[in-house]
Structure 1
Amino acid sequence: MFVRNYMTKSPITISKKTPVFEALEIMKKYNIRHLPVVSEGKLDGVVTEKMLLTVSPSPATSLSIYELNYLLAKMTVEDAMVHKVIKVSPDTTIEEAALLMRENKIGSVPVVEDEKLVGIITVIDIFDALVKFFGYGKPGTRFVLEAKDEVELITEVSQVVKEFDVQIQSIVSMAKDNERVEMMLRLSTIDTEPLLEAMKKRGIKVNFYS
C-alpha cells in the first residue's frame, strides 16, 4: 500500500502571492482545506483553511468594511503558509504517511518526486485506503480467528479457503497480550455455515463473524 495509489494527483495549487481571500474562495469552491503553495512546479509551502482564517481579521473587528477589504486585499498566502513542509514520495507506504501525520498533528502531506509536486495525501485518503484494505463495501463475510501460532493459523485457513474455492479479500493479524494471535479474515462468500464447520473441525477458534 503506497502513497502513489491513494494520493490526489495533480492537486489544486496556489502561489505565495495569492491573496488570502482568493485562497479561501478556492477552498470553498473545491471543498478542500489544504493547498500546496508552488513556484514553477516546486513546493514552496502549504497553507490550510485554519491558517488563513487565523491571519484574517476577526468578524468582531472594529475596522470598517472598507478597511477590512483593503487589509484582506493586501494579505497574501505567504503571510500564513508553512515554509518548512513535511513531505513524502510516491513510494512512501501508507502507514509511514499516517505515522507522519499523527506525530506532527497535520491533516495532509504533499507528495514530491524529483523536487516536483506530484500529489497530496490527506487523512481522508488514509481512511479510504484503510476501508479498501479491509475489503469493506464488497459482498463477503468477516471472521475473527484466534490461535497460538500465526503460521499454523494461516496454513489451516489457507486449506479451508482452498477447499471451498473462495477468495481472501483481506487478512490482518495482530499479537494479543496473552501471547496469542488474532486474525481478521474477510472472505468473498456469505455462506458461512460450511466454513464455520470446516474451521471447527481443524481446531480453529472463531471469536466473531459477520
Structure 2
Amino acid sequence: MTTKLIIVNPQTTVSTAIVLMKENQIHRLPVLEGNVLVGIVTQGIIARALPSQATSLSVYETNYLLTKTTVADIMEKTVRTVSASAQLEEAIFQMRQHKIGVLPVMQSAQVVGIITNNDILDAFLNISGYGEPGVISRVRVTHDHPGVIFAIGKALAEHNLSIQTLMVVREHQERVIELHIASDQATAVNQVLVDAGFELI
C-alpha cells in the first residue's frame, strides 16, 4: 500500500481537490472528517460532476462553480476498504468484484494507507523479481504432490546453486514452477533439474 496519504476534508472545494491531484500526480483522495473516513473523491467522480461541454457556462463560470462546490457535494460516501492485515489477494478480489481501482487500508478504524491497481502491479513485479539480472527456468509439474519445491531446492543446494525468486502458477490443469536464477548459473541449474527428473519447459 501507499502510506503517504494526501487527504481532504468534506469542506475542501473541488477546485482545491483538482489541484492536489495534479500536484501529487494521483487520481483519488480519501475524505476524512477528523480521523474518520467519510468518503472518497476520484478524477472520475469530478469529471462526472463537471458541467457538460454542451453547457452555456463560460470557463469563468465553470471555475467559479468549482470553487463553490465542496468535496462533500460530490464524493462517494459508500467506501469499500480493506484491513491492513488482509492478504493482498483479498484486496484484489474486492477491487475486481466491485470494479473499483482503489481501497483505503484500515487499522483500528483509522486509515493507514491506500492501495491502488498500480500498487498491486508493483507488488507483482517485486514478487516476480522483474528487473533483476537473471533468467527464468520453468518446471512443469504434471502430478502435483507434497515436497516438489523441497526436492527442487535440495537438488540445487547439493550443487551449490541458488534461486533468486520462485513462483508457482497454474497453466490449464498443470502447475508450473518459475525459478528466477542468475544468468551464469542457468545452464547448470537446468542440467541439475533435468538430471533430477524434472521436466523443463
TM-score greater than 0.5 by the shorter chain: yes
Find the residue that maps to 1:47 and give its secondary structure.
strand
Q: Give the C-alpha shift of residue 113 in structure 1.
A: 1.2
CA contact (8 A) 2:137 2:190 kept: no
Deviations 1:159-195 (A, max 9, x none): 22202333323222245544x4321122245321122
2:156 matched residue in structure 1: 161
Which one is further off, 27-36 or 146-155?
146-155
CA distance in 2, matches of 1:36, 1:167: 44
Q: Give the C-alpha shift of residue 142 in structure 1.
A: 1.1
Q: Give the C-alpha shift of residue 105 in structure 1.
A: 1.0
Question: CA distance change for structure 1 residues 196 and 104 in 2, over 3 Å: closer, same or farther?
Answer: same
2:40 matched residue in structure 1: 46
**Identity across the alignment (%):** 34
Aligned amino acid, residue 12 of structure 2: T
Deviations 1:65-92 (A, max 9, x none): 4432332222111122111110012111
5+ residue gaps, structure 1, are 1-6
5+ residue gaps, structure 2, are none
Question: CA distance change for structure 1 residues 189 and 67 in 2, over 3 Å: closer, same or farther?
Answer: closer
CA contact (8 A) 1:166 1:189 kept: no
Find the residue that maps to 2:184 and give its secondary structure.
coil
TM-score w.r.t. length of structure 2: 0.91
Question: CA distance change for structure 1 residues 111 and 186 in 2, over 3 Å: closer, same or farther?
Answer: same
Find the residue that maps to 1:186 and give its secondary structure.
strand
1:22 to 2:53 alignment: no
Find the residue that maps to 1:9 and give its secondary structure.
coil
CA distance in 2, matches of 1:176, 1:182: 7
CA distance in 2, matches of 1:152, 1:140: 25
TM-score w.r.t. length of structure 1: 0.87
Question: CA distance change for structure 1 residues 68 and 193 in 2, over 3 Å: closer, same or farther?
Answer: closer
CA contact (8 A) 2:41 2:74 kept: yes
